[in-house]
Amino acid sequence: MKRLLTIILALTILLPVITMAVERLPKPEKLVLDNGLTVYFLKNPELPLVSFRMLIPGAGRAFEPQGFDGLASLTTSLLLKGTRTMSAEEIAEALDFMGARLSLSDAEEYAAVSGEALVEHLPRLLQITADCLTSPAFKEDEYKKELARKTDALKSLKDNPGAALRQYFRKAYFGSHPFGQLSSGTESSLKKMSLDEIKKFFASRFRPDTAIMAVVGDIDRDRLFGLLKETIGRWPKPNTAPPSLTIPPLPVPRGRKLILVDKPDATQSYFALGSPGFAVNDKISSAASLMNTLWGGRFTSWLNNELRIKRGLTYGASSSFQSWKDGGLFMASSYTKNDQIGQMLDITFDLLKKAREKGFSQEEAESARNYLLGQFPQTLETNGSKAGAYLRVVFYGLGFDYYDRYLNEITTVQAADLKKAALRLLPEKDFVLVVVGKADEVRKILSKYGQFQEKKITDPDF
Amino acid sequence: MPRKTGLSFISILIFLLVVTTMSEGAFKKEDIKVFKLDNGLKVILYEDHKIPNISYYTFFKVGSRNERPGLTGVSHFIEHMMFNGTQKFGPGEFDRLMEFYGGANNAYTSDDMTAYTDWFPPLALEKMVEMEADRMQGLIFDPEVFESERGVVASERRMGVENNNEAILQENVRATAIMAHPYHWDVIGWMSDILNWRRDEVIQYYRTYYAPNNAVLVVVGDFDSQKTLELIKKYYSSIPSQTPPPPVTTTEPPQMGRKEVVIKKEAQTPSFMVVYHAPKCQDPDFFALSILEKPLLRGESSRLYRRLVRDEQLAISVFGGIEEKIDPYLFTIFVKPRPGVDLDKIEKIIDEELHKVIEQGLTDQEYQKALNLIRSDFYFSLQTNSGKANLLGAAELLFGSYEQLFTLIDRYAQVKREDIPGVARKYFHELNKTVGKLIPQGGNQ
């Protein structure tokens, strides 16, 4: 394959923008169920399919008690492992039989539910979804199986340097901040995990009145409303006040924080370099996404051009911004043979400096604008992606005209704005750098960047 | 049992539904326009104006299947070189111009084909047609760029295979199970070949396989067919056709006994897989095995998941199945075992489950589940322009014609539940089997 698709994915998930032509996110219809659940709906009769998404704010991993990494993730996976009326096998069998898809996952700020099916199977799919959310059995034996699987998956994760790097980086960057909680869990967190903690987390964090849902597909409004009332609508609203959704300010690195993770059998070294990004509703977002497109966000970006296209040091190099309600993260990463990691990092630092000092040309700005505008339509092509966009807009309070405004901003950003964005957002002296590789081969090379704290990949935790 | 009757009735209903939807749905065979240029280039066009974007997919009938020792991995390498310059557009210009016009792309190489997948706004159409036509014949293979790209592919191999235990095991198992046919090696090629490809040989390979008569163009999205065809004629007509490439004649001899390959490597967790020789996708047995694969391996309700992951708790995950290939390939069962478990026990359980299928077949419920999955997968793929382009191209290259796409679901539905045990018996036997184990050294073992 020519390249991994992560670059485009990162771009579109984090910073959806709109095309210059007709495609805008159509305004959905809003329904509020008796239990307070707000549902956004759009009919699309093109194929006999329906997709839905749901966000449950405050049920994400940032709200886990400190040290209980993996709690939100275990909670969401256990929700599919049995209810008062169905066993885990029965749920799996019912979903597979329909060829339907139902998944629950945890992000930092919220838990997410995602489902899709042929329209004739939607009633059953909604029934199962509601059952999982309203009457999970949380059986001891299912819990033990999930916990064991997670413990093993953690070992397997450490066999994969690219995947391990992301976890080490998260911990290094966020430390004890809630965004440092890892979905994978850690060796210590899984050891002290308990089913009681999971039940407690579920009871206090999963509720319909703050949740939002979007449904897009080949179904009429009235029929859908009827189905929702009989299913998700029966999820009782608790009498308690909703829990606080406040997250402490994101940490800001001061100076260089350098970590080397020794993986003695690695033939390549993997690096991740990060610094503060920006919040979802920050005015800089259009300039920042254009700047990132040029610096490390697409195939001909500076970073990929220098590391891959010109020098063949790597299969891929990229950077991205990830944004949340209260802040964000910039991250650049790549990998190369152990003995070339110094050359790779030198070039990366040079490019950061160049962007900050010289900025970008008008022609580059135009190219980035065309690229973001041209690639936008596919990001809202499916029922599922439209449903996801509705929830994003609502959750972050952006307004349904968000994409229209964003479009206008993109078209007006000039080269000078890109340099400003680079000066604010690309790191100079303050950053976190994590390298996973064979320490014996890279220790000396890395020493010129400063004192690295060393960890062994076989040691517990990240 | 009344349940049985009920299910058969449902299956008839679903069959009818499939047939009706396929003939009256939004995506119809009649709306697809097909042309062949004088130089042999086949063009498949489907207009879809929902979003202002075009998926422009070029498929070449070349993959690692067409390679030989010394040149393994070269199909994939040419896929990389296709972005590295022609007489008209210098190294890197393709990507630079494409992105300037708002386009993005990717490309992939498989054992059987190489595909170039472009997505761009309608305004970029003529530029993209021009550049795609140009690189079908005009690559320069600049020696310096050639060497740099060799490094990229070596890095891709290091990342994708050498630093990935599952991939190492898979490469070894494939090479053990298949000894004569070129499916013996992985698409990425052997490292020593990557480091030693000669420029002149690579150019010769490109000339042979990158010819209009060895390619299919699939365009789906927001364009006018007549105008687009004119553009395609304008830019592609002058490309000369080439002598058709030599056919792949090597046939894999029948396996004569169980094979096993053991990898010992630093790791925290073991890996395990079992493969059986399986038919090519145009063989009627392919459809039966593809149905069988679903209740056996797909999802948490599948027999092997329940047995290995849930009940016996020997594994973290299990997946696999049969792949659509031009020539006979493998039915794969891949298991991620839990650390420290007895791998022989996993093999024994897989044997038992396959034996059950041979003796008792699938239940009505399982058979129906497989057909439901096939149908919903199909519709999920039809949601996007690129999904449609991919399906059309795969049908054309693997099943012989894009038209096959519109009868594929029916061909699955024509497999009778009663046929499955016989087909299973034919392939899932000891003489046809290869087992692979990756056993961790050091680490936590």
DSSP string, A293-340: IIIIISTTSHHHIIIIIIT---S-EEEEEEE-SS-EEEEEEEEEEGGG
**Residue B20: pLDDT band with limits 50, 70, 90:** very low
Under 8 Å CB-to-CB from B364, ≥6 apart: which residues?
B3, B4, B7, B8, B11, B417
Burial B137-150 (b: 16+ CB within 10 A, else e): bebbbbeebbebbb
Distance CA A426, CA A87 (A): 50
CA distance B14 to chain A (A): 11
Measure CA B394 to chain center: 8
d(CA B311, CA B309): 6
Percent of chain B with pLDDT over 90: 88
pLDDT at residue A15, as a whole number: 35
Distance CA B299, CA B318 (A): 9
Task: From residue B338, give the alpha-carbon distance in Å to each of B268, B315, B316, B436.
Answer: 10, 5, 6, 16
Average pLDDT of the segment spanning B308-312: 94
Does A311 score more than 60 pLDDT?
yes
B259-441: CATH superfamily: Metalloenzyme, LuxS/M16 peptidase-like (3.30.830.10)
Give the closest residue to A201 by CA, choosing from A87, A394, A33, A69: A69
Instruction: Choose the mutation target among A265, A302, A363, A441 for the interface with B, i.e. most B CBs under 10 Å.
Output: A265
When pLDDT is cut at 50, 70 and 90, the band that residue B25 belongs to is low
A315/B159 Cβ within 8 A: yes
Residues of A in contact with B147 (CB under 8 A): 312
Residue of B82, B99, B191, B371 to mutate, testing the A interface (most A Cβ within 10 Å of its Cβ) = B99
Burial class (CB in 10 A: 0-12, 13-18, 19+), A22: exposed
CA distance A36 to A209: 4
A300 to B96: CB separation less than 8 angstroms, yes or no: yes
Task: Determine whether the interchain pair A377/B51 forms a contact, defined as Cβ–Cβ distance below 8 Å.
Answer: yes
Give the single-character DSSP code of A434: E
User: How many Å apart are CA A237 and CA A40, to the nearest integer?
Assistant: 19
Q: Give pLDDT tens digits for A96-118.
A: 999 999 999 999 999 999 999 99
Contacts of B121 in chain A (CB under 8 A): 19-21, 373-374, 377
Tell me how far the alpha carbon of residue A384 is from its chain's centroid.
Answer: 16
With an 8 Å Cβ cutoff, is B50 touching chain A? yes
Considering the domain B29-237, what is its CATH architecture? Answer: 2-Layer Sandwich (3.30)
A381 and B383 in contact by Cβ < 8 A? Answer: yes
Q: What is the ipTM score, two decimals? A: 0.88
| Cα B343 from Cα B261, distance rounded (Å) | 13
Q: Looking at the predicted structure, is the pLDDT value of residue B21 above 70?
A: no
Q: Tell me the pLDDT tens digit for each residue of A242-280.
A: 999 999 999 999 999 999 999 999 989 999 999 999 999
Query: In this complex, which of B21, B159, B372 lies closest to A48 when CB atoms are compared?
Result: B21
Interface test with B, best of A159, A303, A337, A375 (most B CBs within 10 A): A159
Is the separation of the CB atoms in B51 and B222 below 8 Å?
yes
List, for residues A77-92, the tens digit of each pLDDT value.
999 999 999 999 999 9
Between CA A64 and CA A374 the distance in angstroms is: 40
| Average pLDDT for chain A | 93
pLDDT tier for residue A439 given thresholds of 50, 70 and 90: very high
What burial letters (b/e) apply to A45-83, b meaning 16+ CB within 10 Å? eebbbbbbbbbbbbbbbbbbeeebbbbbbbbbbbbbbbb
Do B29-237 and B259-441 show the same overall fold? yes
Of A158, A153, A150, A185, whose CA–CA distance to A171 is shortest?
Answer: A185
Window from A205-214, B24-33, B281-290, B357-366 with minimum mean pLDDT:
B24-33
> Residue B100 and residue A367: Cβ atoms within 8 Å?
yes
Tell me the per-residue pLDDT of B206-239, one tens digit each, with 9 for 90 and over.
Answer: 999 999 999 999 999 999 999 999 999 999 999 9
Mean pLDDT across chain B: 92
Closest among A282, A314, A440 to B148, alpha carbons compared:
A314
For chain B positions 55-94, those within 8 Å of chain A (CB to CB) are 79-80, 83, 92
Q: What is the pLDDT of residue B372?
A: 94
**Nearest residue in A to B221, CA atom:** A378
End-to-end Cα, chain B, rounded Å: 51
Average the pLDDT over B373-381 and give the result: 93
What pLDDT score does A3 carry? 59
Question: Residue A329 phi/psi, 5° resolution?
Answer: -140, 135
The beta-carbon neighbor of B269 closest among A21, A148, A152 is A152
Order of strands, sheet of B259-266, starting from the edge strand that comes earlier in the sequence: B259-266, B433-441, B271-277, B330-337, B315-322
Could you say which of B53, B365, B382 has the minimum Cβ distance to residue A97?
B365
With beta carbons less than 8 A apart as the criterion, state whether A111 and A105 touch: yes
Closest-CA distance, B391 to chain A, in angstroms, reads: 16
The reply to whether residue A377 touches residue B163, judged by beta carbons under 8 angstroms, is: no
pLDDT > 70 fraction of chain A, expressed in percent and rounded:
95
Q: How confident is the model at residue A4 (pLDDT cuts 50, 70, 90)?
A: low
Which residues partner with B335 through β-bridges?
A: B272, B318
Sheet architecture: strand order including A29-32 = A29-32, A38-43, A212-217, A49-57, A110-118, A101-106
Q: For position A1, what pLDDT does the model report?
A: 64
Query: How far apart, in whole angstroms, are the C-alpha atoms of residue A29 and residue A32?
Result: 10
* B442: pLDDT strictly greater than 80: no
Give yes or no for B344 touching A (CB within 8 A).
no
pLDDT digits (tens, 9 = 90+) for B353-372: 999 999 999 999 999 999 99
Q: Test A264 with B266 for CB contact under 8 angstroms.
A: yes
- Chain B partners of A265 at a C-beta cutoff of 8 Å? 265-267
pLDDT tier for residue A333 given thresholds of 50, 70 and 90: very high
Q: How confident is the model at residue B160 (pLDDT cuts 50, 70, 90)?
A: confident
pLDDT tens-digit readout, A15-33: 333 334 444 799 999 999 9
What are A73's two structure tokens? Answer: 């993730």
Cα dist from B226 to B145, B233, B385, whole Å: 38, 11, 19
Provide mean pLDDT across the span B241-254. Answer: 96
Cβ contacts of B152 on chain A, cutoff 8 Å: 308, 312, 314-315
What is the sign of the dihedral through the CA atoms of A231, A232, A235 and A237?
A: negative
Q: In this structure, what are the phi and psi dihedrals at residue B118, rounded to the nearest 5 degrees?
A: -115, 140
* Spatial distance between the Cα atoms of A231 and A85, rounded to a whole number of angstroms: 14
Best residue in A150, A315, A367 for a mutation probing chain B (most B CBs within 10 Å): A315
* Residue A79 near residue A133 (C-beta atoms within 8 A): yes
Helices (H), A99-245: 122-134, 140-158, 161-174, 187-192, 195-205, 221-230
CA dist A248 and A178 (Å) reads 8
Q: What percent of chain B has pLDDT over 70?
A: 94
Contact assignment for A300 to B119 by CB distance below 8 Å:
no
Tell me the domain boundaries of chain B. Answer: 29-237, 259-441
pLDDT of the residue at B23: 38
User: How, if at all, do strands A431-437 and A256-262 pair?
Assistant: parallel
Collect all residues of chain B within an 8 Å Cβ-Cβ radius of residue A264.
266
| Whether B125 contacts B197, CB under 8 Å | no
pLDDT at position B155: 87
Comparing CB atoms, the residue among A92, A159, A336 nearest residue B155 is A336
Confidence of residue A2 (pLDDT cuts 50, 70, 90): low
